[in-house]
Structure 1
C-alpha cells in the first residue's frame, strides 16, 4: 500500500525502539500527560456543568422565571394568565406577590423575602411543593396567616410546626419619616428544603394573606408569575407578553434578581477551563522536548535522507507526523477516559465514600449531597480540538530545525 515518505518514516520514528529507548519513554510520557490533561478538563467542566444545571433547577425552579404586573393591582389575574398563555413559550401562570421584611422570633431577627402564592396553582410554576420536608403547600389557608419557611431558617430559629413568628414589613405613612414598621403574626405550617441559598432567605404565605398585608382589596393580586420553556429566553418572552397586554403593563424576569449568580458561575467555568488548559500546554511542551531529542538522535538519518533526495519539506513532515501521532493518541485516550469518568463520577464518589467511610458531600454542610455531572458534546469537541491544536503547533519548531540540518555537518563526525 502506497504511503507518503513523510508518513511512513514519521510513524516508524514514533516508537524509536531501535536505538534509543529513552526517547520512546519520553514519547509515552508525553501521550500520558496529554491524556491526563484532556481527562481532567472533561471531568471538571462536566462537574461544573452539573453544578450549574443543579443550581438552575433548584433556584430557577423556585423563583419566578418572569412576572407580569401593571401600574395598579390586577383585578382579574386569570384573564392576564390566559392572555399570557397564548405565547407558545409560556407553560403556566399563577398569581404572585412579593414582600421584603424581617422575621422576628424570641429576640432574633432575619431578613426574609416573602412570596404570596396560591397553593393550588403554585405546583404548576414552582418545584417547591416537591421539596417539602414538613407540611404541604395546601396547609396555607387564606386568613390563617400560615407561613412555609426554609430549612435553614427553621434550624436557625429552632422552629417547629405550630410556632408563631412576627413579620415586620415597612409601610408608607403620613408620619414625618414617611415609613413606619408594621407587624404581622405568622404561624409556621411547613418547612421546605430546595438545597440552595433560598432555604435561608425565602418564605411562602397565601396570596390572600399577602394581599391583606399589602392592603389590597379582596381578589386583587400584585402580579402574575410565568413559567417559560426556555429559561434564557425569559427576558424576551416576558417583554413580548407585556407588550401584547398593552400600555401600563410591565415585565420582570429572573435575570434581574439571579442573573449575577449565573454570570459568576459561567465566568468561573471559563477561568477553570483556561487554568486546566495549562496542563495540556505542559504536555505540548513535552512533545517539543521529545521531538528535539529525536531530531538530535536522528541527525545522521536526516543527512542520509537528504543525500538520497528528500526535500526539506519532506524532512519537516516526518517529525510533524511523529508529533501529531503522539498528540492524536494522547487526545483520544484522554477523551475516552474523560467521557467514562464524567458519566460515572457520582458512582465513583459513592464508591470512595463507602471505601473510606467518610461522606464527601454532607447534606448538613453543603446544599447538595452528591457530585452532579453533565457531559456536553460541545465541551468534549472543544477540549479535544484545543489539545490536538496545541500538540500540532508543538511540532512546528522541532520539525523546522530538522529541515535546516545540513548533510555535511551532520555526517562530519560519523
Structure 2
C-alpha cells in the first residue's frame, strides 16, 4: 500500500499544475536522451572508423613477410624449406615466395616510383583475388612482362591498361647517381667525359595490365616473380616468404608461435601487417577513450539536470513533505518518492535516447547528405572509395552499459536532494 502511495506521489510530482507533464520534467528527459544519444552514436561511429581502417590494412597489406635481416636475398632452398614448414601450420591460409623492391617507372617523360611485389603463379592468384574488389581499371591477372599498380601511380604516368612503360630497379638508379658523382669529381676532362658515357640505365619495357584504388588497396605494384627477378637482378633468388593468415587479428600470437617452434630461421625477421598501422590504430584507440571521457561528462551533465528537477520539486512540495512526515511517513518513503521520480525520468530519457540513436545510425548517410546540401559541401560519394559511407559498429555490451549507467547516474543524482527533503522538520515545513 505504501509503495503504491510512493509511486502515485512520484507521478503526481512529475506533472505541472495546468498541464499533463511538467516542463522541467520534459527538459530532464531530453537531457538524459541527448546524453545517451551522443554516447551510442559517437562510440559506434568511431568504432566503425577504427574497424574500417583495420579492414583496409588486412585487405591490402601482406599479413606476414618473413625475410633475411638486412633485406638480403634468400636462396631457393632456404625458401623452399621454410615454405614447407609454414604450410604445415594450422593458422596459415596461404603462403608463397616473393620478391620486393622499389622500381622507377617512366612513360613519355613522366616518372613515378613504386614499391613492387613479385609473386609466383600460385601466390599471385590468391593475393590478387584478395585485392580484386579494389580494382580500378584493367585486369588484375598477372602475366609475365606486365604490372598492376596503384591508380595514382598510373595517373602520374598518364598510363592506361595496355600502355608500355619503362622501368628501372632503384638499385640501378642509385648506382648511376653514384657513378655520376664520381665522374663529376674527375679533374681530367677526357676521363670525365668517358665516365659520363659509361653511365647508362638499362630500361625494361613492361605492360600496364591494370590498377587498383590506392585508398583501399595500398600503393603497391604487383608483377610476376620472373618479371621481378629480371628487373631487380635477383637471378633465381627471392626476398622471402609471404604468408596470409586465417585470423589476421592474431598475427602477433602466430609469429610468437613461429618463434617458439623455431620455424623462423636464424638471421631472419618478420614484418607484420600491423607494422603499417600500429601507430594509427593506437592513436584511434586513444582518441576513442578520450571521447568516452568527454561523453561521460555529457552524461554527468544530463544527470545534473535530473538533480535540478528533483531540487525544484522538493522545494515546491516542501509543505506536502512536511504533511507526509507529520502523518508518520518514514524518511525512506520520502526518499523513495523522489528516487522513483528520477527512475521514471532516467528510464524514459534512456529509452528515448536509445531510440533516437538507432534512428540516427540508420539514417547517418542521409543526414550527412542533408548537411552537405545545406552547407554547400560535396554531395558525391563514389562507390568503392574508402569511407564513401559513414561506418558504424554497434557493440551490444556498450549500449547495455550506457543504458544502465545512464539510469544509475539519474538515481544517484536524485539521492542528495531527496535525502535533504526527507530530513525536513515538519513543523518548520508547515510554518514556511
1:152 corresponds in structure 2 to 152
Structure 1 length as normaliser, TM-score? Answer: 0.83
State which drifts further: 100-109 or 270-279: 100-109
2:136 corresponds in structure 1 to 133
Matched, 1:323 2:325: no
1:397 corresponds in structure 2 to 416
CA change 1:400–1:97 in 2 (3 A) is farther
Gaps of 5+ in 1: none
State which drifts further: 40-49 or 302-311: 40-49
The correspondence for 2:403, drawn from 375, 378, 384, is 384
DSSP 3-state at the match of 1:395: helix
Structure 2 CA distance for aligned equivalents of residues 312 and 319 of structure 1: 11
Q: CA deviation at 1:40?
A: 2.9
Verify the 8 A CA contact 1:119 1:137 in the aligned structure 2: no
The correspondence for 2:312, drawn from 293, 297, 300, is 293
State which drifts further: 384-393 or 285-294: 384-393
Q: CA deviation at 1:238?
A: 2.2
Verify the 8 A CA contact 1:168 1:181 in the aligned structure 2: no
CA deviation map 1:244-284 (0-9, x unaligned): 32542433212222211222222233333333344333322
Root-mean-square deviation over aligned CA pairs: 3.6
- Please list, as runs of the form range in 1=range in 2, the aligned pairs for 1:330-345 lying within 5 A after superposition: 330-345=349-364
1:62 corresponds in structure 2 to 60
2:250 corresponds in structure 1 to 233
State which drifts further: 358-367 or 242-251: 358-367
CA deviation map 1:21-49 (0-9, x unaligned): 59811111211222123223322322223
DSSP 3-state at the match of 2:328: coil
Q: CA deviation at 1:61?
A: 0.7
Q: Which has the higher helix share?
A: 2
Structure 1 CA distance for aligned equivalents of residues 139 and 52 of structure 2: 23
CA change 1:90–1:346 in 2 (3 A) is farther
Q: How many residues align?
A: 404
1:223 corresponds in structure 2 to 240
Structure 2 CA distance for aligned equivalents of residues 123 and 378 of structure 1: 40
State which drifts further: 271-280 or 341-350: 341-350
Bigger Rg, structure 1 or 2: 2
DSSP 3-state at the match of 1:67: strand
Q: CA deviation at 1:290?
A: 0.9
Verify the 8 A CA contact 1:128 1:194 in the aligned structure 2: no
CA change 1:215–1:21 in 2 (3 A) is same
Structure 2 CA distance for aligned equivalents of residues 168 and 319 of structure 1: 78
1:195 corresponds in structure 2 to 215
- Please list, as runs of the form range in 1=range in 2, the aligned pairs for 1:5-404 lying within 5 A after superposition: 6-13=6-13, 15-17=14-16, 19=17, 21=19, 24-70=22-68, 73-76=74-77, 77=79, 79-100=81-102, 102-104=104-106, 110=112, 112-118=114-120, 120-125=122-127, 127-138=130-141, 140-142=142-144, 144=145, 146-161=146-161, 162-170=163-171, 184-185=203-204, 186-193=206-213, 195-196=215-216, 198=218, 201-218=219-236, 220-244=237-261, 245=263, 247-248=265-266, 249-346=268-365, 360-363=379-382, 367-404=386-423
Verify the 8 A CA contact 1:345 1:373 in the aligned structure 2: no
CA deviation map 1:134-167 (0-9, x unaligned): 22232x333x2x3212122223443222141444
Q: CA deviation at 1:293?
A: 0.5
State which drifts further: 123-132 or 368-377: 123-132
Q: CA deviation at 1:392?
A: 2.6
CA change 1:348–1:75 in 2 (3 A) is same
Q: CA deviation at 1:101?
A: 5.1
Verify the 8 A CA contact 2:59 2:217 in the aligned structure 1: no
DSSP 3-state at the match of 2:149: strand
Structure 2 length as normaliser, TM-score? Answer: 0.80
